[in-house]
Amino acid sequence: MLRSLPVLLRGILASPANAQRCAPRSYPLMAFEVEREAKWMPDSSSRWVPGSPGTRSNAPTTVELVFQFVVDSAGKVLPSTIHALTPIDADRLRDIRADAARWHFQPAAVAGCRVAQLVQVPVNNGR
């Protein structure tokens, strides 16, 4: 009987009744709708880096570039959703979009389920 206990417990813990159900959503959530916001995972190969939502630079010579994009439930930026919310030249926009396609985030979460989030962050030159 004792030998079969681990097998029995595994079966109970893996049963559908104990599995967390994460309903897929057809739209990204906003920051106020999630319990844990998407968080950028630093990568030294990125020339452009996203800041934390709501942060602003105090340096008077720094140009504030604010971007909006969707981070999916796997933590990837959806390239088609990358938009500059501040005026920016085409070359710089192209550079930032290329970097953003390689960014990885810890996905946002609601009730322990990973969800897509619409993110608005300042983007700075990391080098």
Output the domain CATH number for residue 113.
Answer: 3.30.2420
Instruction: Assess if residue 13 is contained within a domain.
Output: no
Q: What is the pLDDT of residues 23-62, one digit of tens each?
A: 888 899 999 999 999 999 887 787 888 876 555 555 444 5
The whole-chain average pLDDT of the chain stands at 80
Instruction: Assess if residue 46 is contained within a domain.
Output: yes
Query: Can you give the length of the chain in residues?
Result: 127
Instruction: Assess if residue 118 is contained within a domain.
Output: yes
Tally of domains within the chain: 1
CB-CB neighbours of 117 under 10 Å: 25
Q: What is the pLDDT of residues 117-126, one digit of tens each?
A: 999 999 887 6
Instruction: Assess if residue 18 is contained within a domain.
Output: no
Question: What pLDDT was estimated at residue 6?
Answer: 53
Instruction: Assess if residue 34 is contained within a domain.
Output: yes
Instruction: Assess if residue 114 is contained within a domain.
Output: yes
Q: Which residues contact 123 (CB under 8 A, 6 or more apart)?
A: 48, 49, 50, 51, 65, 66, 67, 96, 100
Domain range enclosing 71: 23-125
Nearest one of 122, 106, 114, 115 to 38, comparing CA atoms: 106
Per-residue pLDDT band at 3 (split at 50, 70, 90) = low
Residues in a beta bridge with 110: 113
Instruction: Assess if residue 8 is contained within a domain.
Output: no
Instruction: Assess if residue 5 is contained within a domain.
Output: no
Question: What pLDDT was estimated at residue 91?
Answer: 92
